[in-house]
Structure 1
Amino acid sequence: MFRWLAGRGARPSRVAETLTRISPLGWRRARTSLAFLDGLDDREDEALRARAAWLLASKSFSGAQGMVLDDDIMLSIAIQAALPILELDPVLYEGWTEIIVYPGGFLIPRTEVDDSGVVHEYIQEAAGEAWDGGPVILSWEDSCPGMPQAANVVIHEFAHKLDLYGGEADGIPVLDAHPQLRTRQWRGVLTSTFERFERMVTEVEDAIPRDVDPESEEADPWYGSLPLDPYAATDPAEFFAVSSEAFFVDPLPLAKAFPGWYGLLQAYYRQDPLRRLLGPVNVDRL
């Protein structure tokens, strides 16, 4: 109990108990509903199951606005959240205790200071939020199976948690366990790739006709030419989170556009979703 209150992972005995409660049928149903998990081999499948059990045992799940959480919902979220740490130490998800799930999008008060020093307060609708030292908040409508393949709000928010584990959200996760990766190298590739993507977004926005609202669905064909959701151009932290969700669920556009950045993500996560989803033969033909 005190481990949980401190935001530490559950004891191995509790994780083992949780693992036994995940039925083979429930696991298979949850796994097959998430198409981006296709291609996991037997070892990876078992490792993912163990990581999902760790999450279920280590975090409390709470429904908001009348949301009733059943085992299938919690298992689906745990599976998606477990994928980024499939080959990493789950300690990276420690330091906080709760996952809050809303039925749909929720409102977050925001405060921004412009270049003139004027403070602007507004309300923003969100599908997910990861608080530094606090909970992960998710919209089930945006997290449930069947969402567009190129997006994954669960992976996005848990990538923020990986980023925050080492301090401020800056797009640079803790690299101590990766002797082949250096912070200076990571920062250099992140910065150059982020700036290149910013230019790509600007070019797309400049190409949108004046009679088309760039915030409307009518502008989607222009933004669809980008290898990542344009939200990735917000700042380096969002670039890392958006890149991470694309890395796991729709890796081909990312790998083609930014092979160096994809290579760093591959080294950090110790996974290669492109090869897993397309197969070695098809990847070698790219």
Structure 2
Amino acid sequence: MLNNLKRWYRSTVLRDTRIPFQLWQQSTRMLSLFNRLNTRQLTRLRKLTGLFLHEKQFTAAAGMALSDKMRVQIAAQACLLILNRNLSDFDGWYEIIVYPDAFIVEYEHVDEAGVLHSSERTLGGEAWGKGPVILSWADADPEGQGARHFGSNVVLHEFAHKLDMLNGVANGMPVLNKDMKREDWTRIFSCAYERLLRELEHGYHVSIDPYAAQSPAEFFAVVSEYFFMAPEFLQKHYPGIYREVSLYYRQNPLKQV
């Protein structure tokens, strides 16, 4: 019943949330990852992005000047992840916070002796379980993509974490589609992750961003970046991962060209 009401509500507000064509064109022309989409897919993406912007709150932090174009660019990339899924995958939270540059986050943890430790990290993005997605515009700006490593996209990365968190925790095991097998996902992802750890331990050159080795959750977020930003590369180096991620996102970028 609740899902039916939500679908009715979204279909009702859709006509009021359509992004003006000129704004859509200005916002997406720098986003090369949309070049693989056909007209039908781009139309659906525009609708999803409009609904996303209607349901989420964007907050500018630390003096950030946040324009409509920036909001659309962030929202459109987030919605690419759910192009063939459901907008409800992003339910349960409502805010995106955007800083002009990298931001500092304080962490606390208690060690085995019961001693409390505090530390700081400088980040370009972060996703909280039921809380906001936080982004640095310096890292998210499509016109600045060349300054980061091959296959990188901080927006895709953080929103992939949000999808991973649908099962209650970010652990690299998102809620799989009914036509997927949990044992296949676990086997393929575990083997690939352990291979990456071994390569780094022995000082070998690794094919993807070494940050993926931080945890299974980071591995999933990183391969999600590559899936959309460099699908040929991911398919070549991690064919099993490419297949599973393709099933999960219900997309195949290599066949959308």
Name the TM-score, length of structure 1 as normaliser: 0.81
Structure 1 segment 120-199 matched on structure 2, within 5 A:
120-146=117-143, 147-148=145-146, 150-175=151-176, 178-199=177-198
Unaligned runs of 5+ in 2: none
Instruction: Give, in angstroms, the shift of residue 229 of structure 1.
Output: 0.8
Q: Secondary structure at the match of 1:85?
A: coil
Q: Percent identity?
A: 40
Partner of 1:77: 74
**Which digits, 9 at most, give the CA deviation of each residue in 1:103-156, with x for residues without a partner?**
010001123456777654210000111101001011111101121351111110
Shift of 1:50: 1.1
1-structure distance, mates of 2:166, 2:238: 25
Deviation at 1:274, TM superposition (A): 2.8
**Residue in structure 2 matching 1:56, options 34, 53, 61:** 53
CA distance, structure 2, for counterparts of residue 128 and residue 142 of structure 1:
8
Tell me the distance in 1 between the aligned counterparts of 2:207 and 2:178.
29
CA 1:257–1:25 in structure 2 vs 1: closer, same or farther (change >3 Å)? same
Distance 1:72 1:143 in 2: 13
Is the CA contact (8 Å cut-off) linking 1:163 and 1:170 kept in structure 2? yes
Aligned to 2:200: 201
Which 5+ residue runs of structure 1 have no aligned equivalent? 208-224, 280-286
Pick which of 27-36 and 79-88 moved more: 27-36
Aligned length: 248
Aligned letter for 1:185?
D
DSSP-derived class of the 2:81 partner: helix
In structure 1, the residue matched to 2:27 is 30
For 1:67, give the aligned amino acid: M
Q: 1:41, 1:253 → 2: CA distance?
A: 22
For 2:118 and 2:77, the matched residues in 1 are separated by: 33
Instruction: Name the residue aligned to 1:219.
Output: none
Using the alignment, how far apart are the partners of 2:79 and 2:42 within structure 1? Answer: 11
What is the CA deviation profile of residues 29-68 of structure 1, one whole-angstrom value per residue up to 9, with x for unaligned ones? 2222111111210111011111111110110011000112
- Which residue of structure 1 aligns with residue 238 of structure 2? 258
Mapped partners of 1:112, 1:275: distance in 2: 46
Greater alpha carbon shift after TM alignment, 180-189 vs 71-80: 180-189
How high is the TM-score relative to the length of structure 2?
0.90
In 2, the alpha carbon distance for the partners of 1:198 and 1:116 equals 28
User: Secondary structure at 1:263's aligned position in 2?
Assistant: helix
Aligned-partner SS, 2:183: helix
RMSD (Å) for aligned C-alpha atoms? 2.0
Aligned to 1:230: 210
Structure 1 residue identity aligned to 2:48: R
